[in-house]
């Protein structure tokens, strides 16, 4: 099986970001003293968590990449997305996307909006209160110290237990459905997905005079089309397009001429497709 060039670039980028964020991700998921992790890093008492220095650069990166390329942060930089991609590659456990699953997938994808609403509520209810509800902070010299994770769990904060359950559940679901957490529940992914509708660059057909593909790109990790709020701008369908007409292009650039050299208005060409 030939590996696409874009897949190699993407894996290198994802692995680099994973290397930078692995400790933050581990502490945040397994023993963050706040109810909702990764949010209150600037006022966090966990001095061993690198979130305090990484949070602002990452917010900046997600915002800038979002303004330019929509949800590209999810496809190229997010460490959870990388774990989900690796989990989705494990043989045999990967789901075959059957007709039945496609229907369920369509029903489950909107779940990310109530999940976003719930996350916003929980941030206000658990993090932005006068005092943190959970007073204990477990510190260690290594983010990957399993004893520290056990201790954090044993201290009895229900948020820690719920989070551990979410991590295990997301991993298990990711083994069966590619990017399950990203597709159905991630609040950040839901927000970034909105930027797919207004980013400066977008994946577009180079030839708008040709009929639109009715099939989804083969092996799309999000089981969607470019331009939707679910697309993570991984670019795999650009390299894999059998007709070679998908391109990353400026959203508001004029359409290229058709084969006969006509500059037919875009609306007219859409009408023909
Ligand atoms: S810096 Fe603090 S608030 Fe942020 S993820 Fe780490 S432990 Fe949680
Ligand atoms: S949807 Fe969420 S978890 Fe998935 S890649 Fe995007 S930000 Fe990361
Ligand atoms: S539609 Fe294309 S760019 Fe978007 S997630 Fe699927 S394969 Fe990646």
Could you write out the DSSP letters of every residue in 241-272? -TT--EEEEETTSPPPP-TT-----HHHHHHH
Measure 271 CA to ligand 3 centroid, in angstroms: 25
Residue 211 counted as domain residue = no
d(Cα 193, Cα 178) in Å, to the nearest integer? Answer: 17
Residue 232 counted as domain residue = no
Measure 210 CA to ligand 2 centroid, in angstroms: 33
234 Cβ closer than 6 Å to some ligand 3 atom: yes
Q: Which atom of ligand 2 is nearest to the CA of 190?
A: 1
pLDDT digits (tens, 9 = 90+) for 150-192: 998 888 888 889 999 999 999 999 888 889 999 999 999 999 9
pLDDT digits (tens, 9 = 90+) for 104-154: 888 999 999 999 999 999 999 988 887 666 677 888 888 888 999 899 888
The encoded tokens of residue 245 equal 């007409």
143 Cβ closer than 6 Å to some ligand 1 atom: no
Cα angle 244, 247, 253; round to 5: 135
Residue 25 counted as domain residue = yes
Residue 209 counted as domain residue = no
Cα angle 124, 129, 134; round to 5: 105
Which ligand minimizes its atom distance to the CA of 160?
Answer: 1
Question: Closest Cα to atom 4, ligand 2: which residue?
Answer: 182
Which ligand minimizes its atom distance to the CA of 115?
Answer: 2
Residue 137 counted as domain residue = yes
Number of domains in the chain: 1
Measure 266 CA to ligand 2 centroid, in angstroms: 33
Residue 32 counted as domain residue = yes
pTM for this model (two decimals) = 0.87
pLDDT of residue 207: 64
40 Cβ closer than 6 Å to some ligand 1 atom: yes
Measure 55 CA to ligand 2 centroid, in angstroms: 15
Measure 223 CA to ligand 1 centroid, in angstroms: 32
Residue 269 counted as domain residue = no
140 Cβ closer than 6 Å to some ligand 1 atom: no
Non-local (6+) Cβ contacts of 125 within 8 A are 35
Query: Does the pLDDT of residue 1 top 50, yes or no?
Result: yes
How far is CA 182 from each of CA 6, 31, 108, 159, rounded to the nearest angstrom? 20, 22, 11, 21
Measure 143 CA to ligand 1 centroid, in angstroms: 12
pLDDT digits (tens, 9 = 90+) for 221-250: 998 988 899 999 999 988 888 777 788 988
The domain in which residue 183 lies consists of 5-194
Residue 240 counted as domain residue = no
């Amino acid at each position: 099986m030939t590996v696409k060039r874009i897949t190699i670039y993407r894996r290198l980028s994802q692995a680099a970001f994973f290397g930078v964020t692995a400790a933050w991700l581990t502490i945040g998921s397994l023993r963050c003293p706040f109810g909702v992790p990764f949010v209150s890093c600037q006022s966090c008492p966990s001095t061993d968590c690198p979130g305090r220095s990484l949070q602002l650069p990452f917010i900046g990166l997600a915002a800038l990449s979002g303004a330019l390329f929509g949800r590209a942060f999810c496809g190229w930089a997010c460490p959870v997305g990388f774990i989900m991609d690796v989990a989705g590659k494990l043989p045999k456990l990967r789901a075959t996307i059957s007709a039945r699953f496609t229907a369920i997938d369509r029903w489950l994808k909107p779940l990310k909006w109530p999940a976003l609403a719930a996350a916003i509520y929980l941030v206000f209810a658990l993090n932005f209160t006068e005092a943190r509800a959970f007073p204990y902070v477990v510190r260690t010299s290594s983010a990957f110290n399993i004893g520290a994770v056990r201790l954090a769990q044993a201290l009895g904060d229900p948020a820690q237990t719920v989070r551990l359950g979410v991590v295990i559940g997301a991993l298990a679901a990711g083994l069966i459905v590619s990017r399950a957490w990203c597709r159905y529940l991630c609040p950040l992914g839901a927000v970034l997905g909105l930027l797919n509708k207004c980013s400066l660059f977008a994946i577009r057909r180079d030839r708008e005079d040709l009929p639109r593909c009715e099939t989804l790109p083969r092996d799309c990790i999000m089981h969607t089309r470019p331009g939707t709020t679910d697309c993570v701008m991984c670019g795999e369908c650009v390299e894999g397009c059998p007709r070679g007409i998908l391109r990353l292009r400026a959203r508001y650039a004029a359409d290229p001429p058709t084969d006969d050299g006509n500059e037919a208005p875009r609306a007219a060409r859409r009408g023909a497709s």
